[in-house]
Amino acid sequence: MGKLFKLKKWLTISEAANHLSIIFGEQVSDADVLRLGLDGQLTLSVDFVNHATVKTGKWIPRNQSKNLMELERAMGKSNEHLDYPIWVSDEKIFSISGIWDLTMIGGERLDVENRYQHLVGGVEVTLINIDGAFVKGAENLICQLQECFDDNEHSGSDNYYPAGGLPDDSVLVVRTSALSEFESQINTDENATEKPLSTTERTSLLTILAALCDYSKIKYRERGAAAQIARLTEASGAPVSEDTISKALKKIPNAIKDRMK
């Protein structure tokens, strides 16, 4: 991990793709980074360069919204079987700036999906989310993005409505802390799924060890061979104990015998 990476708080999508390409030793594209975000494996964020207008609020169970239930009954609708929550905004309008995380539950998810489809030559996303777009700040503060009917930023809260997506002048980014967390999770998953050596693999490695000993004129059957190899591992910077090497050397004769069957 480079020194500059440790100093940065966030990277652009392209920079994040380049970083992951280096870490994983394989090509990672901008589209791959967006897909990881859409699949919930990597937290994506947004930089509100010119600020953004929002309202705070909270999600509540649908059956706790008396006004909504009365409206649906008046319209002849019966949605009692729908248990998903609804968003209830506070009245106050205020401005936010800087880096905020995407919740990926509203219009912001559709924005990311549309950008992903564009990069992979897919289809245009025509879906809309009537709840608007949401971002998350410190201490899990959820904000609903707002737009103004007449572009007058000094208008009252009644002149605002939920934005369908992210502002055009915002930039998708990835926090370096989110990248580090993602890398750690990948490494943990790989270690958890690592399988022990099979008998065939173990036999092959012991046969290779015997061949290297012969090439280096180390008589692995004699005393002192383990000490010689231990000194070589120390010189390479990855020391292995003499006892561990001795146990491996004792298994060589049977491994060669199995290999020659």
pLDDT at 69: 58
Residues 168 and 211 reside in one and the same domain: no
Are 139 and 249 contained in the same domain? no
Q: Which of 238, 209, 236, 237 is nearest to 225 (CA)?
A: 209
Identify whether residues 184 and 245 lie together within a single domain.
Answer: no
Q: What is the pLDDT of residue 81?
A: 46
Kindly state whether residues 17 and 138 are assigned to the same domain: yes
Question: In the prediction, which pLDDT does 200 show?
Answer: 84
Residues 119 and 72 both lie in one domain: yes
Residue 76's pLDDT is what? 59
Q: What is the mean pLDDT of residues 71-93?
A: 67
* pLDDT at residue 12, as a whole number: 97
The predicted model scores a pTM of: 0.66
Q: Are 31 and 148 members of one domain?
A: yes
Assess whether pLDDT exceeds 80 at residue 152.
no
Strand ranges for the chain from DSSP E: 10-12, 45-60, 86-89, 94-102, 134-136, 142-148, 160-162, 170-175
pLDDT above 80 (res 40): yes
Q: Give residues with Cβ within 8 angstroms of 217, minimum separation 6.
A: none
Range among 154-163, 176-185, 252-261 rated most confident: 176-185
**Mean pLDDT across 125-150:** 92
Assess whether 108 and 85 both reside in one domain.
yes
Note whether 157 and 203 are same-domain residues. Answer: no
Domain of 223, in residue numbers = 199-259
Q: Are residues 72 and 139 in the same domain?
A: yes
The count of domains in the chain is 2
- Please tell me whether residues 173 and 208 are part of one structural domain: no
